[in-house]
Structure 1
Amino acid sequence: MPADQTIALFGIGSTNLRSAVGTPDDTVTTDIHVEPTRIRDLESQVCSRLEALQSQAAIDAVSIACAGLVDGGVVQEIDTPDDAVVRDIPLGPTIENRFDLPVRLENDCTAAALAEWVYGAGQTADCVVHLTMGTGIGAGVVDHGHVVRGADGHATEVGLFPIGPPDRASSGVPGAWEAYCSGRGIAGFVRDLLKTETRETVLDAEDLTARDVFEAASDPDPDPVADDYLDRIARYNAAGLGTLVNAYNPDLVTVGGGVGASNFETILERTRPHIERYALPAIPDIQPTRLGDEIGLYGALAPYATQSVPTETRSIPATDD
C-alpha cells in the first residue's frame, strides 16, 4: 500500500473501542477517539465511527484489532463485561458491503505482538511474545517476522495453559492460567479462598476485584491475607510464564492489559523467583509495553507499515476522551 494512502484503525476491547486514522509510514494522523464498546451492537458502532473518520480523511482501507476469536473477517466469539459471550459478528463483510473498502481483522493479542515487533521493544528481538493480562489472559507471538497462528488461529491461547488445580476452569479447561491469574480469575480465586479463611483481613468477598487484592497487599501496611494470596497467585503466574517460555522460546516478553500494566512490578517481583522451576530455555527479558492502551491501534497499523523496521517508538497522539 502506498505511503500516501490512509487506513481507518480500530482497537476493540471488551470495555473500550479506540479509533483513529493512520498511514503506512507508521504515523497515526488523527486524535484517538475512545468510547465504551457496545459488543451487542458492534457492527453499527464501528460503521458509525468509520463514517466519522471518513469526515476527517479519505479512507482507503480498514484495519481492526479485536478481542476474542476472529476468522475471515468474522468475530467468532467475544466476551462482554458482564461475562456473556457474543458470537458470529460479521464485522468485516458488513463494512466491505456498506463502504466498499478492504477490511483486515486481527485478534487483539496478535495485533499487539505485531505492534511490539514493528514499533515497540520487539524491534531488536528474534521472537517476541506480547502477554495481555486483563479480564482474561491472552498472547500474540511473532517469531522471526512470522505470526504464530496454528491450524485454526488458536495457537497462542496461553490463558488456557493448565497450570493449576482442576477445581477452577476457563472456557471448559480445568486449571487454566486465566482462571487463577486474570482479573476475573484473581477475583474468583480469592473469593473461594475467603470462604474458609479464619484470619482477619480487609478483603471483602462481596464485589471483590483484582484491584482490591493488589491494593490490600501494597505497602506501607500490607494485609497479610492479601499478601499471602498474591504469593500463591505468583506461583501460578510462574507456571504460566514458564510454560510460555517452553512453548515459544522468546527473547522478549512484553506485558500489557489492565492487570498486567497496572501491577507489572508487583507481579514480576513476586513471580520471577519461581519461573526457572518451570522453564527449560533461558528466561527472556520481561518488560511492560511502551505502547500503552493504544497498542491495538498500532497493531492494526503494523501490517501496512513499510518493510524497514523503525529505529524508535513513534509518538502517540493525544487521546480524545
Structure 2
Amino acid sequence: MNGPTSVVVDVVSTRLRYARGTKRGFVNVRSERTRADALAEQVVDAVATVRDESSEPIEVVSVATTGLVDAERGVVAEFDAADGTKRYDVPLAAAIDEAFGLPTLVQNDCTAAALGEYQFGAGENHNSLAHVTFGTGIGAGVVEDGRPLRGERGYAAEVGLFSIDADGDLWSTGVRGAWEAYCSGRGIPNFARSIVAEDDRPSSLREHDEIRAPDVFAAADDGDAVACDLLDRIARYNAAGIGTLVNAYDPGVVTVGGSVARNNAEWFLSGVRASLDDYVLAADPPAVTLTSLGEDIELYGALAATLSVDVNARKSGD
C-alpha cells in the first residue's frame, strides 16, 4: 500500500477516535468523548496532537463522520449529537485548512466503512461491494471499481430509510415503516415496546421500565416467546432491507457491521441468509458476511480515502 502520512479521524455521536495513518495502516489510536458543540475545534485539536507526535510530516487529514456530509465542501451538513439534538454546517475542512494548511477529506462514516472494506477487507476479487452498518441507525455505503457512490448531494445509500413496512406504526426521519425504525439499536426497543403493548402473552420484557436492544436478545436466549417472535420479524426485515439493496446496486458481496450486527453475529447472519432469497432478483445472491475490520472499519475507510490523494499536486498549486 502506498499513500501519504495522514491523520485519520472517526466521529460518531458519542465518541471521536483518531490515529496517524501510515503506508502500513494506522497507529496509536486514541478515543475521547465527542464535543458536538465544538466539533471542528475538537478535530483540529486531534490533528494537532497527532502532528506534534509524528516523526514524519502530516500530508493529509481524512475524517469519517456520522451525519449528512457535503464531501465536496468538507462540511458536515447535519450532525446528530448524543443528546438527540442536531448541529448544522460544521466546516471541518475549512477549520483544518485554516489551522494547518492541509488538504482534508470529509465523508459519511457509512461511505467510509464501505471504502475501508473494499480496500482492506472483503473487497478482494470483487468489483462492487456494499457495507451496511447496524448501529443507532442503519446506513450503508456502496463502492464500485474502487469509487464510493455518493449521489447528487452525497446522500446515496441512506438505506435505513427503505420502507420495509409501508403500513407500519414506526417512523424515522419522516419515513413510515423505515427499516431503521424497527431493526437498529434505537429502533429495536421501540419495536419491542409496540409489540409488548399488543401481545397478551407473558414476557419478561414487561419487567423493564426501559427496554434496551440487549434486553430483547437476552429474553430470546431465555426462551421468551414474544422476544423470539420479535427477533424473527426483525430478521426478515433485515433480509428485506438487504435484498432491496442488492436489487438496487448488485454488489458482489455484502458485509455488515455496527454494534447490533457485531454483538449478535450468529443470529443476524443466519436470519438474513434464511430469508434473503425471498427478496432478491438474482438466482445466486451475494454472500452476506460480518466485516473482519471490527470497530476500526471507519478508520480504515478514512485511511483508504487518502490513497488517491496527490499531495504533490496540492503543493505545486499552492
TM-score (norm 1): 0.89
2:32 partner amino acid: E
Aligned with 1:301: secondary structure? helix
Quick check: 161-170 or 113-122, which moved more?
Answer: 161-170
How many residues are matched?
302
State whether structure 2 residue 56 is matched by structure 1 residue 69: no
- Identify the residue that residue 229 of structure 1 maps to in structure 2: 230
| Cα distance, 1:175–1:45 mapped onto 2, change above 3 Å | same
1:206 partner amino acid: D
Task: Flag the structure with higher helix content.
Answer: 2
State whether structure 2 residue 148 is matched by structure 1 residue 151: no
1:123 partner amino acid: E
Indicate which of 198, 214, 217 corresponds to 2:217: 214
Q: Distance in 1 between matches of 2:194 and 2:180?
A: 15
Q: Deviations over 1:42-88 (max 9, x none)?
A: 11211221121111113221110111111021101122233222221
Give how far 1:27 is off.
2.2
Decide whether the 8 Å contact of 1:203 with 1:212 is kept in 2: yes
Aligned with 2:198: secondary structure? coil
Give how far 1:197 is off.
2.6
Decide whether the 8 Å contact of 1:253 with 1:284 is kept in 2: yes
Q: Deviations over 1:19-58 (max 9, x none)?
A: 00012x2421x31101122222211211221121111113
Where do 1:25-36 residues align within 5 Å?
25-28=23-26, 30-36=27-33
Q: Distance in 1 between matches of 2:125 and 2:217?
A: 33
Aligned with 1:207: secondary structure? coil
Decide whether the 8 Å contact of 1:116 with 1:123 is kept in 2: no
2:218 partner amino acid: E
Q: Distance in 1 between matches of 2:176 and 2:278?
A: 22
TM-score (norm 2): 0.90
- Identify the residue that residue 293 of structure 2 maps to in structure 1: 291
Task: Give the gaps of 5 or more residues in structure 1.
Answer: 308-321
Give how far 1:2 is off.
7.3
Q: Distance in 2 between matches of 1:160 and 1:151?
A: 17
- Identify the residue that residue 113 of structure 1 maps to in structure 2: 114
Where do 1:122-271 residues align within 5 Å?
122-164=123-165, 165-204=167-206, 205-218=208-221, 221-271=222-272
- Identify the residue that residue 319 of structure 1 maps to in structure 2: none
- Identify the residue that residue 59 of structure 1 maps to in structure 2: 58
Decide whether the 8 Å contact of 2:243 with 2:279 is kept in 1: yes
Q: Distance in 2 between matches of 1:26 and 1:296?
A: 16
Give how far 1:306 is off.
7.1
Decide whether the 8 Å contact of 1:18 with 1:33 is kept in 2: yes
Q: Distance in 1 between matches of 2:185 and 2:2?
A: 41
1:33 partner amino acid: R
- Over the aligned positions, Cα root-mean-square deviation in angstroms equals 1.8
1:160 partner amino acid: L
By relative contact order (CA 8 Å, sep 6+), the higher-ranking structure is 1
Decide whether the 8 Å contact of 1:201 with 1:223 is kept in 2: yes
Give percent identity, aligned residues only. Answer: 47
Q: Distance in 1 between matches of 2:52 and 2:112?
A: 26
Aligned with 2:205: secondary structure? coil
> 4+ residue stretches of structure 1 with deviation over 3 A?
none
Give how far 1:91 is off.
1.3
1:93 partner amino acid: A
Aligned with 1:203: secondary structure? helix
Give how far 1:136 is off.
0.3
2:141 partner amino acid: G
